[in-house]
Amino acid sequence: MFTVISILLALCSSSLCGTAQNVRSIPKHILLGAASSAFQVEGAWNIDGKTESIADHLVHSQKCYAKDCSNADVAANSYYMYKRDVEMLRELGVDFYRFSLSWTRILPTGFPDKVNEAGVQYYSNLIDELLKYKIQPVVTIFHWDLPQKLQQLGGWTNPHIVNWYGDFARVAFSLFGDRVKYWITINEPHQLCHYGYGSPYIPPAMNLTGEADYLCSKNVLLAHARGYHIYDKEFRLWQEGMIFITINAEWFEPESEHDYEAAIDANQFWWGLYTHPILSRSGDYPEIVKHRIAVMSTKQGLLRSRLPELSSEEINYIRGTTDILGLNHYTSYLAYRNASTEEYYGNITGPSFDADCGAMNYQPGDWQIGETNATMYAPWGFYKLLTFIRFEYDNIPVFITENGFGNSGALIDDDRVLYYRGYLSAMLDAICDGSHIVGYTTWSLMDSFEWPNGYSIRIGLYQVDYNNTSLPRTPRKSAYVYKEIIRSRTLDMNYEPDMTIPLSVDNSTSNRLTHI
């Protein structure tokens, strides 16, 4: 005989996992929130003691680094408008807000010899404002905006940055750890190293592929581990928080049955390079990555691999250094390798990340669901990624720290609504099959400076009017839909909001000030 509890559990499971359901339940333990990063929204780039970061330097030294020749000197002006930002979070009803610290706003010299009180006060005020309304701060210590002074010393290619980063992390824990319970060490190491040091796309745009990016990779892993160990040994006992890294992982699917090896290699090169040293039982870089880079290095006449070796001590120092896995995901790719691919990459004589990987990739045109191809729609890839992580890494708890859709910025953003519904549904499918998901984050809360795209691509739940000096924020349709998802804890594929009613704070429900 079914008990009342078993019947309720069966109904809950049916509404979550039923394949024919248009309305799906979202488990109550999953935290729902939104995100931003310091450089992309704060503005006030040289105000109140803040000094130049590599991002500031790039947009000022290359006036048209962004395709619309814009910069982030003012951006969304969140340095002055943080209370409105928190009000937006209250309108949505989120459980948490993920934001990052500007290294140069807190440590103007890059080192802890001088702590900038104005910068400290800004973040302290933001944290207090969030907690006032029971919104958890999820704080990213480093989101790409390295002090320019440290870049002049070699940046992430200089092994001393492991200590420099550790010093900054310790300052952050000391200043804010009494109120912050979720710490992210470093955001998206692949993007930081590959696109910042191996390509010209994000700061510092060094464009030294197959060399600087691998030096960066090793130092980022060690710096992350340094931050983790500092928190674990010096702060965890009395602050009672958790600390983890956020890795961006797009899924590479084989184009055909002959391309499984190409897809495996692509996944290992693009993000296994970082997950394997931290999450695998053996540690170290993936064997296929070490092998391919070593072979290519030998063919190029080098005396040693361009991928710097991790010593046994370093492997042990890095392995296991994350409480959960922070995961950013936006889209997927089809990967392949054939005779023409081998010939093309075989003719590359110098260092090259792409040649080392040896896999080509692309996205079919029918994955485009909006007027731009800024973000292509393949939610099945999200499910496959989460499932791979479940099997490969002992079902480590996953906090999805970014997922979002870029378009041209209309308020009626049905393409973004479709995207969110598809990816949230894929996440629920993974949960039904056993994946351990603890949180989900939309990127982003508001429109922001999107690196080489500037403001030409909009990705916020809230539209920012950059033509108005007051920079008003207006909720898009996706904001209304996300609010209803949070309020009802359901994913309703047919819900249509009434946008004639202003999006306002719902005081009848309170946010859950809860911990994973």
Peptide bond into 53 cis (omega under 30): no
User: Could you identify the residue written with the tokens 């005396």?
Assistant: 303
The whole-number average pLDDT for the span 418-439 is 98
| Mean pLDDT score across all residues of the chain | 95
- Between CA 481 and CA 489 the distance in angstroms is 12
| HSE toward the beta carbon, residue 325, CA cutoff 13 A | 31
Alpha carbon distance 346, 359 (integer Å): 12
Q: Give residue 441's Cα distance to chain centre.
A: 9
Supply the DSSP symbol for 29.
T
Radius of gyration of the chain from its Cα atoms, rounded to whole angstroms:
22
Q: Which of 250, 402, 450, 484 is catalytic?
A: 402
For residue 400, the tally of other CB atoms under 10 A from its CB is: 27
| pLDDT recorded at residue 316 | 98
In the DSSP assignment, the letter for residue 461 is: S
Tokens of 342: 């081998």
- The CA-atom distances, in angstroms, between 507 and each of 92, 133, 268, 504 are 11, 10, 46, 9
What is the model's pTM? Answer: 0.96
Distance CA 403, CA 385 (A): 13
| 250 labelled catalytic | no
Vertex 179, ends 424 and 168: CA angle to 5°?
A: 90
Angular region, 87: left φ>0, alpha ψ -120 to 50, beta rest = alpha
CA 82 from chain centre, in angstroms, equals 21
The answer to whether 253 is a known catalytic residue is: no
* Angle (deg, nearest 10), helices 78-92 and 477-488: 50
Q: What is the pLDDT of residue 443?
A: 98
| Residue-level pLDDT at 17 | 85
Least confident of 15-24, 87-96, 507-516: 507-516
What is the CA 426 to chain-centroid distance, rounded? 18
Reported as a pLDDT band with limits 50, 70 and 90, residue 14 is: low
Residue of 188, 253, 450, 484 marked active site: 188
- Specify the residue for token string 């909009």: 458
- What structural domains and CATH numbers belong to the chain? 24-492 (3.20.20.80)
Closest CA to 191 of 353, 52, 311, 71: 353
Residues with Cβ < 8 Å from 485, sequence gap 6 or more?
26, 32, 424, 491, 492
CA 477 to centroid of chain Cα atoms: 23
Helix (H) or strand (E) holding 414: helix 414-432
Ranges of H-type helices in 208-327: 212-230, 236-239, 260-267, 273-279, 287-299, 312-318
pLDDT range class, residue 510, cuts 50, 70, 90: low
Rounded-to-integer distance, Cα 190 and Cα 204, Å: 14
d(CA 134, CA 513): 5
Q: Under a CB-based contact definition with an 8 Å cutoff, are residues 308 and 215 in contact? A: yes
For residues 491-514, give the mean pLDDT.
83
Tell me the per-residue pLDDT of 371-410, one tens digit each, with 9 for 90 and over.
Answer: 999 999 999 999 999 999 999 999 999 999 999 999 999 9
pLDDT tens across 181-238, in order? Answer: 999 999 999 999 999 999 999 999 999 999 999 999 999 999 999 999 999 999 999 9
How far apart, in whole angstroms, are the C-alpha atoms of residue 83 and residue 210? 44
Q: What is the mean pLDDT of residues 243-257?
A: 98
